[in-house]
């Protein structure tokens, strides 16, 4: 596996490396700080060369759309490990896996996405992936409208979230529009996480701001505490979307790294799933690599 990371990374980089090694493979790594990128080499040239040394390429890049550019010149399968403020598809896969492991289902859930939704590529991919499930409600919670979920994402979800059912009672054709996913916007953390099944926290991304002053105006806008979480929890006798949940709700998720948006007092709370979520990343990426490299049967539609 050729690992090309143009942005700093801990979990994605290390979990991909661990995944490949656990499958019996090896890893060659290139980072932009110690490679010919410093001499002006283009992304396309780097990918073309590195792909010839490997069976699969994993790319993290600071520019949105970089993975598409790289895939066009790569002679080997290429996995998008995050492209700027665009997408992070393998994170979305491990997020859905985590939700299923923690709660038992994805269908019918209410999920609050909290923080810097404009720059957070993880929530972009997760919102899109959730379009494949039924009766989902998404709460978008951000401190300012400018950091809200991008219109390109909400429009995509709107287009994908409804479908037409054909019914023919008494031989008459009837078209029924069924809404699969609802989107709601909040600025209050307390209101946005009320009675949800999942609280998906994200950090305010300092590196995406044009100045430290602008970042400091937003920094620390939200901090999830035990008091807030308990106040937002579903009633014990709720008749909601999950029958017999495996643990108390809501669960807390976070793609990490965390700054100050989740109080450390929650780290040992049974509802705190973010460290289990990080571990799940390795297993999900093992599955992705195994499927791509032919070690596991691909689904018929692949």
Contact criterion met (CB below 8 Å) for 81 and 88:
yes
The domain spans of the chain are 2-84+281-292, 89-271
Q: Which one of 11, 22, 206, 258 is the catalytic residue?
A: 11
Q: What is the pLDDT of residue 216?
A: 76
Residue 258 known to be catalytic = no
SS3 label, residue 84 = coil
Question: What whole-number distance in Å separates Cα of residue 29 and Cα of residue 175?
Answer: 53
Q: Which one of 60, 119, 121, 203 is the catalytic residue?
A: 60
pTM attached to this predicted model:
0.87
Asked whether this chain's domains 2-84+281-292 and 89-271 adopt the same fold, the reply is yes
Asked: is 89-271 a CATH 3.40.50.150 domain? The reply is no
Strand 78-83 relative to strand 162-167: parallel, antiparallel, unpaired? unpaired
Question: What whole-number distance in Å separates Cα of residue 114 and Cα of residue 200?
Answer: 6
Residue 12 known to be catalytic = yes
Question: What whole-number distance in Å separates Cα of residue 208 and Cα of residue 189?
Answer: 22
- What is the CA 137 to chain-centroid distance, rounded? 16
Q: What is the pLDDT of residue 209?
A: 76
Question: What whole-number distance in Å separates Cα of residue 182 and Cα of residue 298?
Answer: 31
Question: What whole-number distance in Å separates Cα of residue 185 and Cα of residue 151?
Answer: 12
Q: Which one of 61, 88, 124, 254 is the catalytic residue?
A: 88
Q: What is the pLDDT of residue 41?
A: 86
Residue 124 known to be catalytic = no
Residue 254 known to be catalytic = no
Return per-residue pLDDT of the chain as tens, 302 residues: 999 999 889 999 999 999 999 999 999 998 777 677 777 789 999 999 999 999 999 999 999 999 999 999 999 999 999 999 999 999 999 999 999 999 999 999 999 999 999 999 999 999 999 999 999 999 999 999 999 999 999 999 998 876 544 444 554 455 555 557 899 999 999 999 999 999 999 988 777 777 787 777 778 789 999 999 999 887 654 444 444 444 588 999 999 999 999 999 999 999 999 999 999 999 999 999 999 998 765 566 54
Contact criterion met (CB below 8 Å) for 273 and 252:
yes
Which long-range contacts does 68-73 make (Cβ < 8 Å, 24+ apart)?
69/43, 69/44, 70/43, 70/44, 72/44, 73/44, 73/47, 73/48
CATH architecture of residue range(s) 2-84+281-292:
3-Layer(aba) Sandwich (3.40)
Question: What whole-number distance in Å separates Cα of residue 183 and Cα of residue 289?
Answer: 33
Residue 11 known to be catalytic = yes
């Amino acid at each position: 596996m050729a690992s090309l990371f143009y942005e700093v990374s801990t979990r994605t980089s290390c979990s991909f490396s661990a995944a490949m090694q656990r499958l019996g493979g090896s890893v060659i790594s290139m980072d932009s700080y110690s490679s010919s990128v410093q001499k002006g080499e283009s992304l396309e040239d780097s990918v073309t060369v590195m792909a010839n040394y490997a069976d699969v390429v994993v790319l993290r890049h600071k520019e949105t759309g970089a993975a598409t550019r790289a895939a066009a010149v790569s002679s080997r399968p290429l996995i998008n490990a995050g492209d700027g403020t665009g997408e992070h598809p393998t994170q979305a896969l491990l997020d859905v896996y985590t939700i299923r492991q923690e709660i038992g289902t994805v269908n019918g859930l209410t999920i609050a996405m909290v923080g810097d939704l404009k720059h957070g590529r993880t929530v972009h991919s997760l919102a899109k992936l959730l379009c494949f499930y039924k009766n989902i409600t998404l709460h978008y919670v951000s401190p300012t409208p400018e950091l809200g979920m991008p219109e390109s994402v909400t429009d995509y979800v709107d287009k994908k979230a409804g479908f037409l059912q054909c019914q023919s009672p008494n031989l008459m054709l009837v078209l029924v529009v069924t809404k699969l996913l609802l989107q709601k916007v909040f600025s209050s953390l307390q209101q946005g996480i009320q009675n949800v099944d999942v609280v998906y926290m994200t950090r305010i991304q300092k590196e995406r701001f044009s100045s430290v002053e602008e970042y400091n105006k937003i920094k620390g806008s939200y901090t999830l505490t035990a008091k807030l979480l308990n106040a937002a929890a579903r009633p014990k006798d709720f008749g909601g979307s999950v029958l017999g949940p495996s643990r108390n709700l809501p669960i807390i998720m976070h793609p990490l790294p965390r700054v100050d948006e989740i109080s450390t007092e929650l780290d040992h709370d049974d509802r705190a799933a973010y460290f289990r979520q990080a571990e799940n990343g390795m297993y999900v990426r093992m599955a992705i690599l195994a499927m791509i490299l032919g070690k596991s049967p691909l689904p018929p539609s692949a």
